[in-house]
Chains A and B, each alone.
Chain A
Amino acid sequence: MITSACHAPADYRHRPERPPPESGWLQRLSTQAKGKLELNRWRLRRRQRRFLRLVTEHSRGCEAETEQQLLQRVRELAAALRQQGLQDPLVAEVFAIIRELSGRTLGMRHFDSQLLGGWVMLQGRVAEMKTGEGKTLTAALPVITAALAGMPVHVVTVNDYLTQRDAEEMAPLYQCFGFCAGLIIHATTPAQRRQAYQADIVYVTGKELVFDYLRDQMKLPQVQPLRLHVEALKSPRFESALQLRGLHFALVDEADSVLIDESRTPLIISANRGNEDQQQFIEEAFELSLELQEGLDFSHDVQRREIELTEQGTRTIRELSEGLGPLWRGAIRREEIVHKALLGRYIYQRDKDYLVRDGKVELIDPLTGRVMEGRSWEKGLHQMVELKEGCELTRQRVTEARISYQNFFRRYLCLCGMTGTAWEVRQEFWDTYGLAVTRVPTHKPERRRIDPPRVFLTDAERWQALVRRCQELLVQNRAVLIGTGSVASSEEASDYLRRAGIEHQVLNAKQDQAEAELVAQAGQPGRVMVATNMAGRGTDIKLAPLVREAGGLHVILTDRYESGRVDRQLAGRCARQGDPGSFEMLLSLENAPARTLRGKSLLASSRSLGLNNAAGQKMALQALQVEQQFVERQNYLARQSTLEYDLKQGDLLAFSGRGN
């Protein structure tokens, strides 16, 4: 329950945010016990029903009233909200009015399921709503209510396109209530950002928000509110350089993407700070690394993506580096830099981890498969990769600020979210963010058909099967969306399709500008689209009438992603809002890594059984699933260690007197 006590005057000096939670064992125990209760499926069921009844009652009265009357009522309600907090009777009335006005301005009235979703979010929880349930519209309910209660609201989305689209779509409704909505995407200038953050409601991409926060933190000479007031009195200028007004209320769209998947790596602001000596040091290290022999001087673990120097290796480095500059003197320093050189040469691979575009090395987000602009590796690794690719050497970058997603979003006074896939990670949501997950029933029953998955021995067989399947479907006038695991396999799939004479589009990291429009058109008959995971996520694929009749969009998954959730997200591209659609998996065992004992044995026995029978198919599928679970687990551990590191450093660095 969000009460008005959370709400504090939103200005640049006060900057309210939640203090880090106590980490005593008693606290942990109570959190766990509370989690058991909060994550119960039946939690809040009765209150939900009662709430829906209330909204329906209020709705009846609303229909007859004019817009002016409704807005007058809203103003009175806003005052009540500020006094009494987000009490159910008040919220129900507000929701009823929003529904009514939304119907009048946008032409879209909220369904009951959306009302429930909005209410769940107002309770500070994550609402799990199936894809295509109209999350954008749902979000308007809690956003407007929170804004009425006086809180600056941040609506956090996964990418710039969705941010912009949602903001524009909802703007008329907000305007109707007298709120201005700000929009912040990558291209927004600092001055525009400042203005946007002053708006009652801000639509912002997750990364931009965190970076703005970090930049603010860097500008702040102090973090305590009182000191900040003193600073503001001393020099009024610093205040005008700040962007955010504290962390009050955030609604996170695609919460699992933002809060879970992307939280594996912390966000870092860095600056060029290398000098000539260091550049030379890096070049020398790269050359020196060429002299080392695999197996003798270092060991290379392909599966774990690790390289370790042996004793012999450290000796070789010492001998080779004699007579080089002063930076070579320290053993840790020289071994570290050579290690980086080896990492760059052996572990990081072109087109998988990075691209080379216009003579520059650009990183690929392993999750989305997109280019991460302006990102670079740290501590000379980037330079090593540049040397390997023969690019021009950039300056070394030095970290200036750093925060993990977990640590950032935990600071919000009120945090809530919505997504299609959250139930699997509900425990993690609770443990990390204190967010409970509630499933919201769908408005219309789902009509997605799931075809039995097929596994092939080699990639070639899989692609051929894919081509055959596309040809079949195209004859039926259906549209096909093919999900691939990486840019390289997108290319491969495209190759096969071209040779078969199938017209298609490829969406991947290399051409991400017009992506959303293309995805939106994926519902046209005879359209075949190849995309890495998450391409055009959140975009509604409108089905052409012909396609709808033929059975809707068909989604083919060609590689299992790093979690079952992401697979489900891809499946969610079809059969939205009661449309027909189908989903199938065409997988291959070629290059399928098996890093667990169970996976290995399953893989071996499925190979020996052959894939032409049901048992072999079943085992192969299981092997791939085991592998996926292993990756999920690894990622989970990585996230935990990111957070743990942040917390530990926070304790350790108490003396530095500043955050991040």
Chain B
Amino acid sequence: MSASLFSPSWHRVADLKPRLRSHVIINRHVFRGAVWYVIQDDATGRYHRFTPQAYSLIGLMDGRRSLDDLWHSAGEQLGDEMPSQDEVIQLLSQLYRVDAIQTDIIPDIAELNKRQRKEKQNRLLAAVKSPLAVKIPLLDPEPFLARTAGLSRWLYNPLSGLIWLLCVGWALGQAAYHWPQLTENLADRVLAVENLFLIWLVYPLVKLVHEFGHAYAVKRWGGEVHEMGIMFLIFMPIPYVDASASAAFHSKYQRMLVSAAGILIEAFIAAVAMWVWVSVEPGVVRSVAFNTLLISGVSTLLFNGNPLLRFDAYYTLADFLEIPNLASRGTRQVAWLCKRYMLGFGDEATSPAYGKGEGRWLLIYALASFVYRVFITFTIVLFVASELFFVGILLALLALYNMFGKPLVAMLKFLMTDKTVRRQRARVAAGVAALLVAVWVLLFIIPLPKMTVTHGVVWAPDEARIITASNGFLQQLVVAPGSMVSAGETLLVSQNETLDTQVAKFSGRLKELLVLYQRAVADERQNEAGILAEEIAQARAELARSLEEQRELVVRSPAAGRYQLTLPVDPEARYIPRGTLLGYVLQPGEYQVRAALGQNDIEAVRSDVRAVTVRVAEDFDRVVPARLIREVPSAQRELPSAALAVEGGGLFALDPANQQAATAFEPVFLVDLQLTGSAAYRVGERAYVRFEHSPEPVGYRIYRSLRRILLRELEF
């Protein structure tokens, strides 16, 4: 028997005559089709949700009837659903702890004092435990809000909603229109020193307006706001208000609006800033507008608008789903599922989900938010740790402990000490062992296919290149590009009239020199003849060079193969300077790919490649096997093609300092691959290269990449 009706401690409470304290208000709410009672305590500003069963008991507490009496009459009312004595004690204790009830016993001052001290300690401890989010309450804005409460009616009504919609819609349109200007070189602009200063000026203001948005939304339906202060989120001061009074609102849409008010207000601010930005000439005002836009648009969406973090959107979502405490109950739901299915507890544990769909929502939310929080925590931790090493490492350890250590400790403690576990030791041990083994096998035993994917370009070897040897205007494409040619076949013919003239000039000059030479010999002018002979040799060489150049105007195929032209369309009559790469003549099977690899990947490619496959961008569906033929032995920063840079759609960030050449920010390694098969490719085309390595379990890979991140970010 898991539940017993009687409690061994009942005698201590049976004669108490509890009653609700006079300032406590009870509201009836409907959550997911079920009735709940929300107890509102104006003195502490806290809200508690109770089931109708609990309410039927609480409702009877009038200070005249003893608890024993109450319990019996509640039992008669509720029949099968009657609460056990332990449940009643639990309920009373809960109510007492939140100061919602008083009894006929004079309260113990020492106990009250102790409780208050403990609460204070807890609050302090909470700040120490999570130093990345510390709340400091400062003042009570209620008097000010009460005086200006009229404003809330102006703010929140259908008409202003319509105006809001129009403004934000217009701003969105403008943003789309000005997108390139807005986003151009964003990182540089945002992180510039003077801009950071502006952000520091604008940020608190925007957030203050945001918070007043919440506050007035609460006032709109008669709630009270008694706490306002500053929260340090990752050491960044952000104002906050306590808008929990909205919990008493009946309509979930009202509650949602309170939570969403901040985002709505900020969106409106963003719209106004957009208008300023569009209509003002560049200058300080425009910069301020831009930053306002950035803060109220981007940061709001990233933080407040993300329901996976416990900010505005989370509360909006929870209200929308009608599941209060979505996050904490989600965690409990996961724990319950583990207990039920992994440890085989059956009915011993009760699910925190009440309704039918609630369980599913809780589970989805818990998993999604956990994954996201892990991600965001790691990011923040790495960021902080790379800025301030010692503090960062401490914070990192704390954050990691909060994320993984604490739940783990709690789990272990549960497994060690819980009574149900003790009773089903074998089953629990089997469940835990199975899970551990499964995780271990998955991480360290089962090899999973491992691969490195990178980008490259189709590449031709030097001997296959057609390069013009002389300047000239292209006159005729003798062979159509793409056809097969044999070695020495004429491919193109160019014309260079200057060159023709030069040939004529050099040959005339030669003739002249020859005549002069003959005359000098005949006149026996020995010296002159000697000089002329040298000039003749020089002129001959010049002529020969010009003739050679003229001959080179007819471009012939360097080898047999498929002929490809790299010149733009309609190239005829175009001037082609000497040394221009005209095209390639390649045999099928001679195509190569030059791929660039980051430093993290080169090791695996160098030591362990089982197969290489390539997909070219043009013909994406075809997978072409390839062979690794060459590796440039040293790292370099010049990319073989601009297509490999991020700007060109590739993977490697360019060095912003070097604007001319395609120079990567971090060194890359180049490898050449020989494509097999008889297909033809376009040289310079992007190729997606996949190196297949020997399968390896995931665990080792995670370990390696963690090691690498730590080494790189923290030199640790």
Interface residues of A (CB under 8 A from B): 222-224, 227, 266, 268, 308-309, 326, 329-333, 335-336, 339, 378-379, 398-402, 637, 641, 645, 649, 652-658, 660
How many angstroms from the CA of A326 to the CA of B77 in the assembled complex?
11
Contact A657 B103 (CB under 8 A): yes
B141 smallest CB distance to A (angstroms): 33
B179 smallest CB distance to A (angstroms): 55
Q: Which residues from 113 to 150 on chain B have a C-beta closer than 8 Å to any C-beta of chain A?
A: 115
**CB within 8 A of A637: which of B75, B109, B110, B422?**
B422
How many angstroms from the CA of A340 to the CA of B191 in the assembled complex?
74
Contact B75 A656 (CB under 8 A): no
**CB within 8 A of A655: which of B11, B101, B419?**
B101
Q: Which chain B residue shows the least CB distance to A379?
A: B6
Q: List 18 A-B contacts (CB under 8 A).
A: A224-B110, A268-B8, A309-B1, A330-B80, A333-B5, A333-B75, A333-B82, A339-B1, A378-B8, A401-B11, A402-B8, A652-B89, A653-B9, A653-B93, A654-B96, A654-B108, A655-B103, A656-B16
A653-B12 contact, Cβ under 8 Å, with A330-B80, A333-B5: yes
Q: What mask results when residues 158 to 180 of chain B are scored 1 for a CB within 8 Å of chain A, else 0?
A: 00000000000000000000000
Contact A660 B108 (CB under 8 A): no
Contact A326 B82 (CB under 8 A): no
Q: A266-B8, A339-B1 are in contact. List 14 more A-B contacts (CB 8 A).
A: A268-B8, A326-B76, A329-B76, A332-B82, A333-B5, A378-B6, A649-B12, A653-B13, A655-B93, A655-B101, A657-B111, A658-B12, A658-B105, A660-B12
**CB within 8 A of B5: which of A227, A332, A657?**
A332
Q: Which chain B residue shows the least CB distance to A270?
A: B11
How many angstroms from the CA of A655 to the CA of B96 in the assembled complex?
6
A399-B82 contact, Cβ under 8 Å, with A336-B5, A656-B16: no
How many angstroms from the CA of A641 to the CA of B420 in the assembled complex?
13
A657-B80 contact, Cβ under 8 Å, with A398-B11, A400-B11: no
Contact A657 B107 (CB under 8 A): yes
Q: Which chain A residue shows the least CB distance to B90?
A: A652
B344 smallest CB distance to A (angstroms): 15
A324 smallest CB distance to B (angstroms): 14
B165 smallest CB distance to A (angstroms): 52
Chain A residues positioned under 8 Å from B6 (CB to CB): 336, 378-379
Chain A residues positioned under 8 Å from B253 (CB to CB): none
Asked whether B657 is an interface residue with its Cβ less than 8 Å from the other chain, the reply is no
Q: Which chain B residue shows the least CB distance to A655?
A: B96
**CB within 8 A of A227: which of B3, B96, B106, B115?**
B106
A331-B93 contact, Cβ under 8 Å, with A402-B11, A657-B108: no
Chain A residues positioned under 8 Å from B110 (CB to CB): 224
Interface size on B, residues (CB 8 A): 38
Contact B108 A224 (CB under 8 A): yes
How many angstroms from the CA of A658 to the CA of B111 in the assembled complex?
11
How many angstroms from the CA of A336 to the CA of B6 in the assembled complex?
9
How many CB-defined contacts (below 8 Å) exist between A and B? 91
Q: Which chain B residue shows the least CB distance to A266?
A: B8
Contact A641 B419 (CB under 8 A): yes
B156 smallest CB distance to A (angstroms): 41
How many angstroms from the CA of A505 to the CA of B1 in the assembled complex?
44
Contact A329 B79 (CB under 8 A): yes
Chain B residues positioned under 8 Å from A401 (CB to CB): 11
Chain B residues positioned under 8 Å from A333 (CB to CB): 5, 75, 82
- Residue among A222, A339, A657, A658 with the highest chain B CB neighbour number at 10 A: A657
How many angstroms from the CA of A402 to the CA of B92 in the assembled complex?
20
Contact A655 B10 (CB under 8 A): no
How many angstroms from the CA of A268 to the CA of B9 in the assembled complex?
11
B21 smallest CB distance to A (angstroms): 12
Chain B residues positioned under 8 Å from A335 (CB to CB): 1
Chain B residues positioned under 8 Å from A652 (CB to CB): 9, 89-90, 93
Chain B residues positioned under 8 Å from A641 (CB to CB): 419
How many angstroms from the CA of A227 to the CA of B108 in the assembled complex?
10
Contact A655 B106 (CB under 8 A): no
Asked whether B660 is an interface residue with its Cβ less than 8 Å from the other chain, the reply is no
Contact B4 A336 (CB under 8 A): yes
Asked whether B84 is an interface residue with its Cβ less than 8 Å from the other chain, the reply is yes
Contact A656 B5 (CB under 8 A): no
A632 smallest CB distance to B (angstroms): 15
Q: Which chain A residue shows the least CB distance to B76?
A: A326
A225 smallest CB distance to B (angstroms): 10
How many angstroms from the CA of A24 to the CA of B288 in the assembled complex?
51
B53 smallest CB distance to A (angstroms): 12
A331-B106 contact, Cβ under 8 Å, with A309-B1, A336-B5, A653-B93: no
How many angstroms from the CA of A268 to the CA of B5 in the assembled complex?
19
How many angstroms from the CA of A660 to the CA of B89 in the assembled complex?
14
How many angstroms from the CA of A266 to the CA of B11 in the assembled complex?
14
Chain B residues positioned under 8 Å from A268 (CB to CB): 8
Chain B residues positioned under 8 Å from A656 (CB to CB): 12-13, 16, 103, 105
How many angstroms from the CA of A654 to the CA of B110 in the assembled complex?
11
Chain B residues positioned under 8 Å from A400 (CB to CB): 11
Contact B92 A657 (CB under 8 A): no
Contact B1 A330 (CB under 8 A): no
Contact A399 B79 (CB under 8 A): no
Chain B residues positioned under 8 Å from A378 (CB to CB): 6, 8
Q: What mask results when residues 79 to 99 of chain B are scored 1 for a CB within 8 Å of chain A, else 0?
A: 110101000011011001100
How many angstroms from the CA of A398 to the CA of B8 in the assembled complex?
10
How many angstroms from the CA of A335 to the CA of B115 in the assembled complex?
38
How many angstroms from the CA of A289 to the CA of B111 in the assembled complex?
46
Q: Which chain A residue shows the least CB distance to B95?
A: A655
How many angstroms from the CA of A335 to the CA of B4 in the assembled complex?
9
Chain A residues positioned under 8 Å from B11 (CB to CB): 398-402
B70 smallest CB distance to A (angstroms): 14
Chain B residues positioned under 8 Å from A309 (CB to CB): 1
How many angstroms from the CA of A224 to the CA of B107 in the assembled complex?
11
Contact B106 A657 (CB under 8 A): yes
Q: Which chain B residue shows the least CB distance to A222?
A: B106
Chain B residues positioned under 8 Å from A329 (CB to CB): 76, 79-80
Chain B residues positioned under 8 Å from A402 (CB to CB): 8-9, 11
B104 smallest CB distance to A (angstroms): 9
How many angstroms from the CA of A329 to the CA of B90 in the assembled complex?
23
Q: Which residues from 454 to 475 on chain B have a C-beta closer than 8 Å to any C-beta of chain A?
A: none
Which 5 A-B pairs rank lowest in CB-CB distance, beginning with the nearest? A655-B96, A657-B105, A331-B80, A330-B82, A652-B93
Contact A308 B1 (CB under 8 A): yes
Chain A residues positioned under 8 Å from B79 (CB to CB): 329-330
Q: Which chain B residue shows the least CB distance to A634?
A: B422
Contact B84 A332 (CB under 8 A): yes
Chain B residues positioned under 8 Å from A330 (CB to CB): 5, 75, 78-80, 82
Q: Which chain B residue shows the least CB distance to A400?
A: B11
- Residue among B8, B76, B101 with the highest chain A CB neighbour number at 10 A: B8
Q: Which chain A residue shows the least CB distance to B108?
A: A657
Chain A residues positioned under 8 Å from B16 (CB to CB): 655-656
How many angstroms from the CA of A660 to the CA of B106 in the assembled complex?
17
How many angstroms from the CA of A398 to the CA of B9 in the assembled complex?
11
Q: Which chain B residue shows the least CB distance to A343?
A: B1
How many angstroms from the CA of A339 to the CA of B18 in the assembled complex?
32
Q: Which chain A residue shows the least CB distance to B16?
A: A656
How many angstroms from the CA of A660 to the CA of B75 in the assembled complex?
25
Chain A residues positioned under 8 Å from B4 (CB to CB): 332, 336
Q: Which chain A residue shows the least CB distance to B112?
A: A654
Contact A654 B105 (CB under 8 A): no
Q: Which chain A residue shows the least CB distance to B115?
A: A654
A654-B12 contact, Cβ under 8 Å, with A330-B75, A333-B75, A336-B4: no
